[in-house]
């Protein structure tokens, strides 16, 4: 079962990036068209939600019980939506993967997050705000901008993220992006990776949340 959540949008023209659609889809609802095109080729079941999400959206009823969540949302930016997704996935202990693009031409690969086992998005947020990292150019947060993306970013990032999902859901290999975030620059054809660790002050999996989680798992309040 696949669940697709996307704001209600309609296809008004085709761009090279939209390889999941064809000219017959112009004017159609984006999620409906994607679902129909996928079902033509694959024997799978898909549930769709046309939904604008923001920091106040309660995603928990929608994702409760799923095996993995992939964040592909990019508005207002991938850093912000990454936190929205993480806040919903962490209490439910759902593995999730953050990805997307920013700075007009950079693709973001990972991180892959296994709640309370790997560093999480909250850990990343805490560490990127630490003075220690201010001059460390790789891990520093990039500027975001509102612009279109190019196919080579979307296809590369999507392909790598999809294989991360397979690693999370099977024992084929350990996920490669635990505590690791990648940047793909198609112009320089560079992949850069930065590493981060679990942080005791993380609002999602730090010492306090970790204790609450252990209590929930064992049923023992200390
Ligand atoms: Zn954390």
Residue 217 Cα to ligand 1 midpoint, Å, equals: 18
Residue 175 Cα to ligand 1 midpoint, Å, equals: 17
pLDDT at 138 over 50: no
Q: Considering the entire predicted model, what is its pTM?
A: 0.85
Residue 206 Cα to ligand 1 midpoint, Å, equals: 6
Residue 96 Cα to ligand 1 midpoint, Å, equals: 13
Residue 203 Cα to ligand 1 midpoint, Å, equals: 7
Average pLDDT over every residue of 67-87: 89
Average pLDDT over every residue of 137-163: 72
Average pLDDT over every residue of 50-72: 92
CA–CA separation, 110 and 116 (whole Å): 17
Residue 5 Cα to ligand 1 midpoint, Å, equals: 24
CA–CA separation, 123 and 200 (whole Å): 8
Residue 137 Cα to ligand 1 midpoint, Å, equals: 22
More confident position, 142 or 213: 213
The proportion of the chain whose per-residue pLDDT surpasses 70, expressed as a percent, equals 85
pLDDT at 137 over 50: no
Average pLDDT over every residue of 31-58: 91
pLDDT at 141 over 70: no
Q: Among candidates 27, 15, 182, 204, which has minimal Cα distance to 119?
A: 204
CA–CA separation, 99 and 182 (whole Å): 9
Residue 7 Cα to ligand 1 midpoint, Å, equals: 28
| CATH class as words, domain 68-218 | alpha beta
Residue 73 Cα to ligand 1 midpoint, Å, equals: 20
Query: pLDDT averaged over the chain?
Result: 85
Q: Among candidates 31, 34, 28, which has minimal Cα distance to 13?
A: 28
Residue 210 Cα to ligand 1 midpoint, Å, equals: 9
Domain boundaries, the chain: 1-52, 68-218
CA–CA separation, 108 and 75 (whole Å): 14
What separation, in Å, do the N-terminal and C-terminal C-alpha atoms of the chain show? 39
Average pLDDT over every residue of 101-130: 88
Average pLDDT over every residue of 163-186: 94
């Amino acid at each position: 079962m696949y669940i697709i959540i996307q704001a209600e949008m309609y296809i008004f023209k085709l761009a090279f990036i939209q390889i999941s659609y064809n000219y017959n889809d112009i004017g159609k609802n984006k999620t409906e068209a994607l679902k129909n095109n996928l079902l033509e080729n694959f024997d799978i079941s898909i549930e769709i939600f046309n939904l604008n999400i923001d920091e106040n959206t309660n995603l928990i009823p929608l994702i409760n019980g799923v095996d993995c969540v992939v964040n592909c949302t990019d508005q207002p930016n991938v850093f912000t939506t990454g936190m929205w997704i993480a806040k919903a996935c962490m209490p439910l202990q759902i593995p999730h993967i953050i990805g997307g693009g920013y700075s007009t031409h950079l693709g973001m690969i990972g991180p892959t997050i296994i709640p309370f086992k790997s560093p999480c998005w909250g850990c990343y947020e805490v560490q990127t705000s630490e003075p220690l990292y201010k001059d460390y150019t790789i891990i520093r947060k990039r500027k975001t901008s509102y612009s279109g993306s190019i196919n080579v970013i979307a296809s590369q990032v999507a392909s790598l993220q999809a294989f991360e999902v397979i690693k999370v859901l099977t024992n084929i290999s350990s996920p490669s992006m635990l505590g690791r975030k990648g940047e793909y620059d198609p112009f320089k054809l560079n992949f850069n990776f930065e590493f981060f660790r679990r942080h005791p002050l993380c609002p999602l999996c730090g010492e306090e949340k970790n204790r609450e989680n252990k209590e929930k798992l064992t049923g023992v309040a200390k």
